[in-house]
Amino acid sequence: MEEEGQRPFCASYKTKDKGSGFVPLRVVCEKVVGIDLCTTNSAGAAMEGGKPTIVTNVEGQRTTQSVVAYTKNGDRLVGQIAKRQTVVTPM
């Protein structure tokens, strides 16, 4: 339920009509997430209560190292633990 005075995040998508300018296509009100995939670190955020909130990883950090590794058993590791795995199992 929305708090009084707050509206859900809504985006109005528009398309260009031939010769008559822009016309509304549709309005979408959904949950919003943002993902910043960088070469060194990555981060994610979500809208909560009308405000952007950074999502923390399992280690409580706001960014995660952009590293993925697999163990000999095929388990996938992400972030700092994946970086540590490269010492144990180099490429």
Q: What percent of the chain has pLDDT over 90?
A: 27
In the structure encoding, which two tokens stand for residue 27, read together?
A: 């309005």
Give Cβ neighbours of residue 33 (< 8 Å, ≥ 6 apart). Answer: 44, 45, 46, 47
Q: Is the pLDDT of residue 1 over 60?
A: no
pLDDT at 71: 86
Q: For 8-45, what is each residue's pLDDT tens digit?
A: 555 555 555 566 566 555 555 667 888 999 889 999 99
Does CATH number 3.40.50.2000 belong to domain 10-88?
no
Cα–Cα distance between 86 and 28 in angstroms, integer? 43
pTM: 0.56
pLDDT at 42: 94
Strands (E), the chain: 10-17, 21-29, 33-37, 41-48, 51-55, 64-65, 68-70, 76-78
pLDDT at 28: 59
Sorted by where each begins, the domain ranges of the chain are 10-88
